[in-house]
Amino acid sequence: MKNLGILLFPNFELLDVCGPAEMFGVVPEHFKLVTVAQQRGLVASTQGIEVMAQYSTEDCPALDILMVPGGMGTRTEVDNRTLLSWLAERSAQVQLILSVCTGALLLAKAGLLDNRNATSNKRAWELTAIHGPDVRWVTEARWVDDGNLVTSSGVSAGIDMALHVIERYAGEAVAEKVANRTEYKWNRDPNWDPFAMINGLT
Q: What is the pLDDT of residue 147?
A: 96
Q: Which residues pair with 7 in a beta bridge?
A: 36
Q: Which DSSP symbol is given to 13?
A: -
What's the maximum distance between 2 C-alpha atoms anywhere in the chain?
A: 44
d(CA 191, CA 165): 16
pLDDT-derived band at 180 (thresholds 50, 70, 90) equals very high
Q: Tell me what the mean pLDDT of segment 67-91 comes to.
A: 97
Give 93-105 pLDDT, tens digit per residue: 999 999 999 999 9
How many other C-beta atoms lie within 10 A of the C-beta of residue 60?
21
d(CA 135, CA 16): 22
d(CA 175, CA 98): 17
Q: Tell me what the mean pLDDT of segment 110-136 comes to.
A: 95
Amino acid 89 reads: E
How many other C-beta atoms lie within 10 A of the C-beta of residue 194?
12
d(CA 179, CA 64): 23
Question: Quick one: fold of 2-198?
Answer: Rossmann fold (3.40.50)
SS3 (DSSP) at 164? helix
Q: What is the Cα gyration radius of the chain?
A: 15
pLDDT-derived band at 202 (thresholds 50, 70, 90) equals confident
d(CA 68, CA 35): 11
Nearest CA among 82, 143, 148, 79 for reference residue 112: 148
Q: Which residues pair with 155 in a beta bridge?
A: none
Q: What is the mean pLDDT of the chain?
A: 97
Give 159-175 pLDDT, tens digit per residue: 999 999 999 999 999 99
Cα angle at 28 between 161 and 172, to 5 degrees?
Answer: 45
Which helix (H) or strand (E) is 49 found in, with range? none
SS3 (DSSP) at 100? coil
SS3 (DSSP) at 149? strand
Asked whether the predicted pLDDT for residue 16 surpasses 90, the reply is yes
d(CA 181, CA 24): 12
